[in-house]
Amino acid sequence: MKQIQQWKLALFGCLLSAFTSVSTPVFGQDTPATMMDAIAHQLEQAPPEQIAHFRDMGALYPSLVTLYENRAYQPFWLDQNSKLNAQGSALLARLADAESDGLIAEHYLLDRLNELAIGDSENNPVALELLLTLSTMQFVDDLRNGRVTPGDLQLGLPVMHSPADFPTFFSEIEQGKSPDEAIYEQAPPINIYHQLQKLLSKWLPMSKEGELTPAVLPKTLHPGDPLPTEFALALSQRMALIGAIPPPESDIYEGDWIEAVESIQRLHGLHPDGLVGKRTLAAMNKSWKARIDKLITSLERTRWLPRHTPEQRYIIVNVPEFKLRAFDGPLENPEMIMNVVVGKTYTRYRTPIFRENMTYVVFTPYWNIPNSILRRSILPNVDGPDYLAAHHYEMVEFFSKTAPTVAATAENIERLKKGELLLRQTPGAHNALGQAKFIFPNANNVYLHGTPAQSLFGKEVRAFSAGCIRVEDVPALAEWVFKQQGWDRSKVDAVLAEAKPKQVNLEQPIIVAILYLTAVVDSNEELFLFEDIYGHDKRLLEKLSQL
């Protein structure tokens, strides 16, 4: 890591020396025309070779040249004395606050910009002008598109690069728009981003004061128990963490103290039962870095989302939250929120992260058992026709609701084990897919479906499936899916009562996005933090640290 940092510092030096090596007079008393000539002279040279190796600045450099060509090389940020003007100073201050967006000021050459702005060791306003513009372009590009893409992490979400309109952006600042306002408009235009950014801005200075007092208890704390003084202090500090008023002093665990614990439990995605056991203590004692990293990774992932959503309905599943949300239009206030079960944490069973269009629903479906599940989980247990009958399994030669079944003879069971036959489970209350499956065709063969195992929805951590997503309330989801086709609950119930497979196509597809956000702010602006069950946060943070 130290060698990487030394390499970065050396690269900064090469890059900046390339900007400052142009033979120009001292600009303290130059006329604007001379300054324009100096900027033109610099930009008419071949771009510094090192730029091509530093982040995206090589790709952004031609836009920098075009930007100044189109304004006859007039500077944005220098006053008549070749010093940084008020807007330039405000822009530099906003770059210095990049950390509040989960970004790194070092990536925007902040130290060197500050040296040039002070001008004590050298007076090179051309370097200051061009570097401030180029660094801001990199900052805006990072805000709009993220520093890495889903493809960099081998995720199935589409890469949607959204280039900035730099001429308009810089002109508006030049003409008096606050850099804070202009940059706010470049960030993802969705509420969750701005709420997470606001929280990060609040937590960063708090984190620099040191870790919070450890929360320690000798045994599980129940309502009515005596309240240890040190635990009361630790809990009060954590109430300040989420902006709530600390509870009043009391030596009994009751009333507002219990509400405080329940708030902390909700924050960390735990069942708010007010009991303080090992899981609640572990959540309370997470480090500042662990909490802030969740904000940083979620901010980065929101930059992968489309900036402007089409007039279309959405279903979004947030895997580490074990929640589904259904939206009709802007992704702000969901029309439905539902618990889900997602894939197990083992690599082969994880629910993939991707986006596709839902096009049809199959009510009262067969479960066509995938070969992987058949080989691993079923065939080792098949000892005869009684086993197949007990689990409502049928052997067929091909998957179709009209496929004829094959008799469960010993000979045919051998054919099944050799891979010559397929296995399915009949429709009904016993069926692993429950009352319906909601299909959005994809290479992962993942879909939403019901389940007879309703007890799983009462668990805090709901990672039990082989990759598909089980939904808690099939009739409610089906009613929402088909409401634009005139369906109500009675229509859904009537189709389910037919007790036989029936495919119904959607007249308009619904976008289904499987996402992975370990920090979420809901429509009531309440923050929730979730465990990194698949290690995706860890991999993203490692990738970001390599930039």
Catalytic residues: 449, 468
Nearest CA-CA partner of 513 in 268, 190, 265, 197: 190
Residue the block writes with tokens 């860890």 = 538
Q: From CA 442, how far away is CA 298, in angstroms rounded?
A: 25
Helix axes 110-118, 2-20, angle to 10 degrees: 40
Instruction: Find the helix or strand (DSSP H, E) in which 438 lies.
Output: strand 436-439
Q: From CA 513, how far away is CA 311, in angstroms rounded?
A: 15
Q: From CA 124, how far away is CA 112, in angstroms rounded?
A: 12
Dihedral sign for Cα 121, 28, 180, 133, please.
negative
Question: Quick one: three-class SS letters along 268-326?
Answer: CCCCCCCCECHHHHHHHCCCHHHHHHHHHHHHHHHCCCCCCCCCCEEEEEEHHHCEEEE
Q: From CA 517, how far away is CA 192, in angstroms rounded?
A: 11
Query: How do 436-439 and 367-368 pair as beta strands?
Result: unpaired
Asked if 62 contacts 33 with a C-beta cutoff of 8 angstroms, the reply is no
Asked if 123 contacts 49 with a C-beta cutoff of 8 angstroms, the reply is no
Tell me the backbone φ, ψ of residue 470, rounded to 5 degrees: -90, 130
- In the sheet that holds 422-425, the strands lie side by side as 367-368, 422-425, 393-396, 405-406
Q: From CA 182, how far away is CA 547, in angstroms rounded?
A: 26
In sequence order, what DSSP letters do the residues of 181-222 get, joined into one string? HHHHTTS--SHHHHHHHHHHHHHHHHHTT-PPPP---SS-B-
Which two tokens mark 443? 């290479």
Q: From CA 204, how far away is CA 139, in angstroms rounded?
A: 19
Would residue 322 be called left, alpha or beta, if left means φ above 0 and alpha means ψ between -120 and 50 degrees? left
Strands (E), 14-162: none
Would residue 215 be called left, alpha or beta, if left means φ above 0 and alpha means ψ between -120 and 50 degrees? beta
Tell me the backbone φ, ψ of residue 506, rounded to 5 degrees: -85, 135
Which two tokens mark 316? 């979004």
| Residues across the chain | 547
Q: From CA 529, how far away is CA 21, in angstroms rounded?
A: 49
